[in-house]
Structure 1
């Protein structure tokens, strides 16, 4: 079974082809990705209308590229999968429309995929894939969640952010430091030159006794610190960046370890764009090693939004028999779609 996956939830257009079936872990045959970072940089953030228009321009050329690199043609595709949500409504509609049009023209079934499920299952594409069950830390620009994962489609929400996600805390703090867009990677790079103990920034909800997160207060603390520094802020930017990163990473680490202890599980999966952060990986690796816990990550190239994770999630749902691809080509999208509402069909 060949699954073509299309991702268009925000500011990256991704297309991939995955081979699945026979109970084996699906295999990635090819993928292509276009990032809109340069286009949105001038505006300091994602402009939804521009994102949608750019997806329209990119999705078919990327599809042709993936098929050519995989030495396949469109009629070889058995299922067309697309990101149904969550994400920007207009951007989601582009991927959904193209996927359903391809399915209708080929007479092949289509399947709408949950974007976060794609992230959650993306480590199965790595050289060291996990095994069920595990605790998952989903940490990205718009989402920070801890999930108990028993199998494909079997997700229990353990905790989530009550305000800003970790990725938003990175990006907003970076903006306060004048680091531009996208802020998270710029802040992490600058943090390598700073002293993480220079400023005592808060660790929100670190001792709350539950597994929820909150990062809005940290952003406010960074703003206060920047104002206190005044004219000296440029000379201390690296220290502020390092202190901010350390606060975010400590909260993510401690909450993840608490989730592992509460569930008794010995396997952690980390997915989403923030999962590529070097400091976070180092701290999680060290903390989990001390407790005899295995940690699994997606390949670095697959941490951001991509078509491979959408094709992979679709293939795993179909192979596990928890979902059915359909030949009805009327489609809808779900800009807001909590992962814990996703259940086996």
Structure 2
């Protein structure tokens, strides 16, 4: 058996199952993907208009062994004890039943193959996806925008995260899906709203919430405004352009995120901006943040679009930061569905 400190590379097997994607990946040195297998459940949840936790859990159980075997095969891992340095899994936040599947898979694999186990915060995974593009320069400001979270995070140094702004109600991705239902779109609605916005004009003035804390977000009022606009026109049988609604809604979301980010940049003076999370795949948001980075002459690293959604490679990238600090977790660790970072 090759001792851990004799390895020239640190290779981690990672699991992600916090919502409706079952994923396993093998990541080298926190910045190179050897394999990343994702089994999605979108088709199973579309008819319900969102994720059904019990359905998600059952699908994870069906897929977890298959994605693990495929990830190991693609990465050329045939002797885990010799070739792997550690095993990692998401332990929160997310759906309880879904989290349990990936966490138990990770802990079991680690125990059987006598490898250290690393517990990863799902949100840290989204941010760490940027490491596949280039190494982060600190201090950094991370703009994390996903289906369940919208946060501004201050990273004073590597593997430290402090919340400086968060949503007080709906997350941006959640707002996209709810507006999608209002417009009669299938779940998830983010990509289709983006496509509709490209054919429309942002001519409708939807509100951008002003919160008590300069850096916090609120999207529930925006969603309600879209609902009222659509219902009013439908009730009086007045035609309206759905593409214009999509464009105007998207513009309001993007402006809310960029304006709060602007305030944070001016106060904290980061050396680098990071953009991650499922909604970070939105091209209008990416363009706006790119313009913001140019305006303030701050380097920007965006998570690759193909890694913006939930996947195990990003968990492997985040796990590597813990691995370097030897931050290993006990095998009796449980899931934490409400896990988050501390507020600054």
Both structures adopt the same fold (TM-score exceeding 0.5): yes
Q: Is 90-99 or 181-190 further displaced after alignment?
A: 181-190
| Corresponding residue SS for 2:179 | helix
Matches within 5 A, 1:1-20: 1-20=10-29
Determine the C-alpha separation between the residues in 2 that align with 1:340 and 1:250.
Answer: 26
Deviations 1:66-102 (A, max 9, x none): 1111111233222110000000000000011111111
Structure 2 partner of 1:338: 340
Structure 2 partner of 1:324: 327
Determine the C-alpha separation between the residues in 2 that align with 1:155 and 1:325.
Answer: 18
Deviations 1:150-197 (A, max 9, x none): 22332221111111111111111111111121112221111111111x
| Corresponding residue SS for 1:153 | coil
Determine the C-alpha separation between the residues in 2 that align with 1:324 and 1:211.
Answer: 31
TM-score (norm 1): 0.92
TM-score (norm 2): 0.92
Structure 2 partner of 1:176: 182
| Corresponding residue SS for 1:31 | strand
Matches within 5 A, 1:47-86: 47-73=52-78, 74-75=80-81, 76-86=83-93
Structure 2 partner of 1:98: 105
Q: Gaps (5+ residues) in structure 2?
A: 1-9
**Runs of 4+ that moved beyond 3 A:** none
Contact 2:16–2:310 (CA<8 Å) still a contact in 1? yes
Contact 2:118–2:322 (CA<8 Å) still a contact in 1? no
Deviation at 1:232, TM superposition (A): 4.2
What is the Cα-based RMSD across aligned positions, in Å?
1.7
Deviations 1:22-72 (A, max 9, x none): xxx542211111111111011111010110111111111111111111111
Determine the C-alpha separation between the residues in 2 that align with 1:209 and 1:50.
Answer: 38
Matched, 1:27 2:32: yes
Contact 2:18–2:98 (CA<8 Å) still a contact in 1? yes
Matches within 5 A, 1:130-145: 130-145=136-151
How many residues align? The count is 331
| Corresponding residue SS for 2:241 | helix
Matched, 1:222 2:231: no
Contact 2:138–2:270 (CA<8 Å) still a contact in 1? no
Contact 1:32–1:65 (CA<8 Å) still a contact in 2? yes
| Corresponding residue SS for 1:132 | coil
| Corresponding residue SS for 1:5 | strand
Matches within 5 A, 1:121-160: 121-126=128-133, 128-160=134-166
Determine the C-alpha separation between the residues in 2 that align with 1:232 and 1:181.
Answer: 26
Determine the C-alpha separation between the residues in 1 that align with 2:76 and 2:124.
Answer: 28
Contact 1:152–1:317 (CA<8 Å) still a contact in 2? no
Q: Gaps (5+ residues) in structure 1?
A: none
Determine the C-alpha separation between the residues in 1 that align with 2:248 and 2:31.
Answer: 40
